């Protein structure tokens, strides 16, 4: 067993480095196992020690200095051996999850698996994600490599420019939202969709276990009516329903489940200008009547095929000239410049101002460092810089960050900040 110095904390001022030091005995084992596998190419176990080691390395990325990661890594060899044995004997069961609430940007119930189980999630993801990537449509942007929020934003602008012929023609958009998406995912339907692409019986057994064990250890826990997520709590959903927010597999399953909707919209309805981000989607067309028809057909498809529905209040059909509120930004066509102006959502600005007040209070009490403040502010500015927000970013710094002027230095037209060097 490796000593505690196997994962030392960085010294003051020292940059954190992702370095994996492994017991030589472990490397010897992996080498022998690889030879054993190469000698039996007919059937390689999905849950081999080597695959588990790779999954562990992915799982620990960015979480190197967390206590749970360190405890697992301290006895890494034995933990991976145990997982390999449990998975291959089909005796693996998830352990008790951790539940907590996040309040920004809106209240959400997060149910997170243990580090040990997240290693399994990473392994499952690495095995089945390539299969589904071949089937996903191009314009599905959440939780995918080389996609993401800002790619979706660029694509939406491209759609608007094309359908309006460079902002000279009117058009309409349908903004759709699947009602209570994660809590209403049907386990049986999800598993049947997964089986269409995954044929390995070993991994299907584990996938079924992950889907069905939505909140292990919290079966008898009932959230209070005062809980901000009470109405949508996963713990109050009927058996066979719901998927936790917070797991890597949930992110993939969320795309797999609505992939059926994507293909229906693209291939059956033949909607040309369509994109989706998790359970939010946009369709743009020159005909309001056609969009109404689309909305009716989509709601019918969701109810019949996926046992879900469109949110009646959040699903809207409006002229593009009204602007689009999507993914934390507000898109508006300027009649003067004939260009799209992207604004930061007002509610996000209010929350950031409140965050600055909290940071100021904590800093004055000596509870946080200047580096922490810089990183926290830069995280929001990384979002804001993708909008036409130069004046807003400058104003926030000059008027709302005065307690931080002594150590924060604006960079690149207020796109981010650096700590001032001490001479």
> CA-CA distance, 143 to 148, in Å (whole number)?
7
96: CB partners within 8 A, 6+ apart: 114, 216, 217, 218
Query: Which residue, among 180, 386, 347, 178, has the nearest Cα to 262 in the 3D structure?
Result: 178
Q: Are 204 and 128 in contact (CB under 8 A)?
A: no
> CA-CA distance, 224 to 222, in Å (whole number)?
7
Which residues are registered as beta bridge partners of 326?
A: 329
pLDDT of residue 21: 47
Instruction: Supply the DSSP string of 190-239, one letter for each residue.
Output: HHHHHHHH---HHHHHHHHHHHH-SSTT-TT----TTSTTGGG-GGGSPT
Query: What DSSP state is assigned to residue 358?
Result: H
pLDDT of residue 1: 41
pLDDT of residue 229: 77
Query: Which residue, among 49, 402, 316, has the nearest Cα to 57 in the 3D structure?
Result: 49
> CA-CA distance, 362 to 368, in Å (whole number)?
6
> CA-CA distance, 160 to 346, in Å (whole number)?
22
pLDDT of residue 153: 94
Tokens of 71: 């405890």
pLDDT of residue 368: 93
Residues lower than pLDDT 50 in the chain: 1-21, 24-25, 28-31, 33-35, 37-43, 423
CA distances from 88 to 79, 95, 166 (A): 14, 17, 58
Q: What are phi and psi of 223, to 5 degrees?
A: -65, 150
pTM score, whole prediction = 0.83
207: CB partners within 8 A, 6+ apart: 124, 128, 191, 194, 198, 249
Dump pLDDT digits (tens) for 53-66: 999 989 888 777 78
Angle, alpha carbons 134-136-141 (nearest 5°):
125
pLDDT of residue 218: 76
């Amino acid at each position: 067993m490796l000593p505690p110095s196997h994962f030392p904390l960085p010294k003051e001022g020292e940059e954190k480095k992702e370095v994996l030091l492994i017991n030589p005995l472990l490397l010897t084992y992996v080498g022998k196992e690889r030879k054993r596998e190469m000698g039996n190419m007919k059937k390689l176990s999905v849950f081999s020690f080597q695959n588990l080691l790779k999954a562990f390395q992915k799982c620990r990325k960015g979480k190197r200095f967390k206590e749970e990661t360190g405890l697992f890594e301290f006895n890494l060899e034995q933990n991976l051996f145990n997982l390999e044995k449990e998975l291959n004997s089909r005796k693996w069961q998830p352990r008790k999850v951790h539940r907590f609430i996040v309040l920004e940007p809106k209240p959400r119930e997060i149910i997170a698996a243990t580090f040990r189980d997240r290693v399994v999630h990473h392994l499952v993801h690495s095995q089945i994600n390539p299969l589904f990537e071949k089937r996903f449509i191009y314009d599905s942007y959440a939780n995918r490599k080389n996609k993401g929020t800002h790619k979706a934003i660029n694509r939406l602008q491209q759609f608007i420019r094309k359908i309006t012929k460079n902002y000279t023609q009117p058009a309409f958009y349908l903004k759709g939202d699947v009602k209570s998406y994660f809590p209403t995912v049907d386990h049986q339907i999800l598993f049947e969709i997964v089986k269409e692409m995954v044929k390995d019986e070993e991994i299907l057994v584990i996938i079924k276990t992950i889907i069905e064990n939505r909140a292990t250890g919290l079966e008898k826990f009932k959230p209070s009516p005062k809980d901000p997520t009470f109405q949508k709590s996963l713990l109050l959903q009927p058996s066979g329903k719901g998927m936790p927010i917070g797991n890597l597999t949930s992110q993939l399953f969320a795309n797999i489940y609505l992939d059926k909707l994507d293909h229906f919209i693209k291939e059956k309805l033949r909607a040309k200008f369509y994109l989706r981000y998790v359970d939010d989607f946009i369709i743009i067309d020159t005909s309001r009547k056609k969009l109404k028809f689309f909305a009716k057909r989509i709601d019918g498809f969701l109810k019949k095929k996926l046992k879900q529905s469109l949110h009646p209040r959040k699903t809207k059909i409006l002229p593009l000239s009204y602007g689009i509120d999507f993914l934390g930004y507000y898109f508006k066509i300027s009649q003067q410049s004939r260009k799209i102006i992207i604004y930061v959502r007002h509610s996000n600005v209010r929350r950031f101002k409140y965050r600055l007040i909290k940071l100021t209070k904590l800093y004055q009490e000596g509870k946080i460092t200047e580096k922490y403040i810089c990183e926290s502010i830069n995280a929001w500015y990384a979002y804001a810089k993708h909008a036409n927000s130069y004046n807003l970013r400058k104003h926030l710094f000059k008027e709302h960050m005065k307690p931080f002027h002594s150590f924060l230095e604006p960079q690149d037209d207020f796109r981010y900040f650096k700590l001032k060097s001490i001479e």
